[in-house]
Amino acid sequence: MKLTVLGSGAGLPSKERKTQSIVLDLIPEINAYFLIDAGEALQHQLLLTNIKPRKINHVFITHLHGDHIYGLPGFLSSRAFQGGNDRPLHLYGPKGIKEWLELTFHISGTSLNYPLFIHEIGDGMKLEVEGYTVQVRLLEHPVDSYLFVFEEPDKEGSLDAAKLKEIGIKPGPIYAEIKNSKTFVHENITYRTSDFLGPVTLGKKIAIHGDTRLIKDDEYKKLIENSDVVIHEATFLDYENEKAHEFGHSEIHEVMELFSTLNIDTTIFTHISNRYDETFIKGIKQTLPTNVWIAEDFFSFEVK
């Protein structure tokens, strides 16, 4: 599992930063990508990677501000001619996303050669997507903006061959039969398969925010607690807490202070305002803990 930030900028793009798009690479797990948001330079950014548009089968839109959706119609149209024909795509986004796309396609005369399923989301929804659970939480922004929490299922432990040999079962096809059963019988004794399995591997948990003020309620903290990676916006970087709150955004130091009280392995900040030059951002980076990152375009993180 890998995360790639294709666009790391806020509302106005800069020469260094395009607007918001993030890819969750699940090729090793399910041979597909999840796309979160679709800023206007999405297609150009994809061309500079090895990501195949035809394998983006699920798109999640956090909110309907332009820096998060203006690349969506072009991407959906181009996918039709990039091996996406007959490959269904599911789109999840706030109320209004269906009307906007249908109107855009109608006026532009756009048709797709694959099924597009549009699911409008709401606060508290729990989605089941390709074996992953996706929890949806409404954030605090001038328009409805959402947090998506992606949770991978836990993986059953491996069969302990040494333990099986101890009771006299030699390696062979029977091992697969045992692994796929709850109990098994050997020499008239019934055993529980779970006693012959290694420890469970916990599934990964990734929390990706849309634009938002800092949220501090217990329900929210419980939702993102124990995440392997949290991606959060940091439109403001220089202690402008009141200004951030006024405009429905967050300030990086305030978010870090909250997250330091939670069990979060890695934090990645994105949605960086173009008011800060890269020299200033570099200075901020040098003060961060080792598990906190400020993303730039094409920033990639392997979720171990």
Can you read off the two tokens belonging to residue 254? 């305030």
List beta partners, residue 58.
34, 90
The pair phi, psi for residue 194, each rounded to 5°, is: -60, -25
Catalytic residue flag (residue 67): yes
Please give the pLDDT value at position 82.
80
Please give the pLDDT value at position 242.
95
Q: Is 67 assigned a ligand-binding role in the annotation?
A: yes
Is 251 in a helix, a strand, or coil? strand
Q: Is 253 assigned a ligand-binding role in the annotation?
A: no
Please give the pLDDT value at position 44.
96
Where exactly does CATH 3.60.15.10 map onto the chain?
A: 2-155+205-302
Contacts with 148 (C-beta within 8 Å, 6 or more apart), sequence order:
36, 60, 62, 134, 135, 136, 207, 208
Classify 2-155+205-302 by CATH class: alpha beta
Q: Which of 37, 67, 228, 297 is catalytic?
A: 67
Can you tell me the distance from the alpha carbon of 225 to that of 144, in angstroms, rounded to the nearest whole number?
23
Q: Is 63 assigned a ligand-binding role in the annotation?
A: yes
Please give the pLDDT value at position 193.
94
Contacts with 290 (C-beta within 8 Å, 6 or more apart), sequence order:
none
3-state helix, strand, coil in the chain (%, to 5): 25, 30, 45
Reading the chain (304 residues) residue by residue, the pLDDT tens digits are: 999 999 999 988 999 999 999 999 999 999 999 999 999 999 999 999 999 999 999 999 999 999 999 999 999 999 988 876 889 999 999 999 999 999 999 999 999 999 999 999 999 999 999 999 999 999 999 999 999 999 999 988 889 999 999 999 999 999 999 988 999 999 999 999 999 998 888 899 999 999 999 999 999 999 999 999 999 999 999 999 999 999 999 999 999 999 999 999 999 999 999 999 999 999 999 999 999 999 999 999 999 8
- The span from the first CA to the last CA of the chain, in angstroms, equals 8
Q: Is 25 assigned a ligand-binding role in the annotation?
A: no
Can you read off the two tokens belonging to residue 146? 């959402």
Q: Is 186 assigned a ligand-binding role in the annotation?
A: no
